[in-house]
A and B are shown apart, each in its own frame.
Chain A
Amino acid sequence: MSDPKIEGYQFKPGFSGMAHDTASDQTMFKGVHWGKAMMWIFLLSDTFIFSCFLISYMKGRGSTPVEWPNPSEVFGLHVFGVDVPLLLIAIMTFVLITSSGTMALAVKYGYEKNKKMCGWLILATAIGGLTFVGMQAFEWSKLIHEGVRPWENPFGAPQFGSFFFMITGFHGTHVSIGVIFLFIYAYKTFAGHYDEKKRGWFTSMKGDYVEIEILGLYWHFVDLVWVFIFAFFYLW
């Protein structure tokens, strides 16, 4: 997890370690699983994609003289005769954070080679993600029913719909892909692929619990993006 060792290579912590890592004439990030390094690079590029969406949203919202729809009312729910602002979004946020916590614990139990706990926690994470996608589908259908389209909506500035569907849709796609992989990895964990060092489908790489951490990185990133979407799109 933090400092895995290669034989003959001694990792140095701190800035001298960083200088060693970047200045050596061989591989950077020595001892780090390549899948983990590549997942980080992928997440970095994904960060740029989501940043571009959110920045274009900022530009669109800032440059229109028409009043922006009030998200507090648009995403509010009418339950038991009371109007609760942003209720569904708040529940979605809590569901996603819960699934992020179970994923973090799954990574920990995976490294401790606790197959059962790891598997159940991944399964719990997958169910959390599925719940999230379900609630998002409900939210989308509700808004489409109310007449929100990418080119118009009854609440205010017409740009609102296109940004909403683009940003939440792209995030929802990430969650859905994550859920699929979570179910696959839950199966692989229960089946003991990581204990037996069984090879994967597209790789000669031997199975290892580090794969759970790589999957965890992706899942935490999905949660991380939601933190920004929640702040900028729903609360701002």
Chain B
Amino acid sequence: MDYHLKTPVPEDEIRKLKMGDLVYITGTVITARDEAHLKALELHEKGEKTPVDFKGVGVFHCGPIMKKVDGEWTVIAAGPTTSARMEIFQDNFIETFHPAIIIGKGGMGDRTSKACQEYGCVYGAFTGGAALLAARGIKKVREVHWLEELGMPECLWVYDVEDFGPMIVTIDTHGNNMTQDVKELVTARMEKIMAEMEG
């Protein structure tokens, strides 16, 4: 099934999605990688507010190439980065900030999958390297935060997006995880190949 969602996405709409569905989103997508996740969680722990509200929006594992043209930030290329690096704090992030969809590539693990189930979030896999397809769906750069401190790839870019996608749902709220399923198959095949290998 194809879904065209608008942010903020209500939790019941997120819970309708199933592994393998294609999703496009219109509204707000915010980039956040390793450093931005850490900083947002640190601020929350100190009882301080983050400069943006992640509730119901798309959190995009992406360090884009941006350029200032006539004083305005524009997107040059903005594809997904490897999400597995965020596995160590993504569950905490989902529990704390309640985003609707985590966008990235390469999939995520059990901790994230559990948090998605519990708090109503999905993981949308965007084709890795397809930075210009992604940029096409970004209509406006609304805000940027932490640019000076974290630099272009790591800071928070807040985008207005229109039919941003397609993302394939690989982690849904029903406990499914496509990347994990493939990984188990690959490991089994590896063991067989290793056992049969000749010198």
Co-assembled chains A and B = no
Q: A-side interface residues toward B, CB under 8 Å?
A: none
Q: B-side interface residues toward A, CB under 8 Å?
A: none
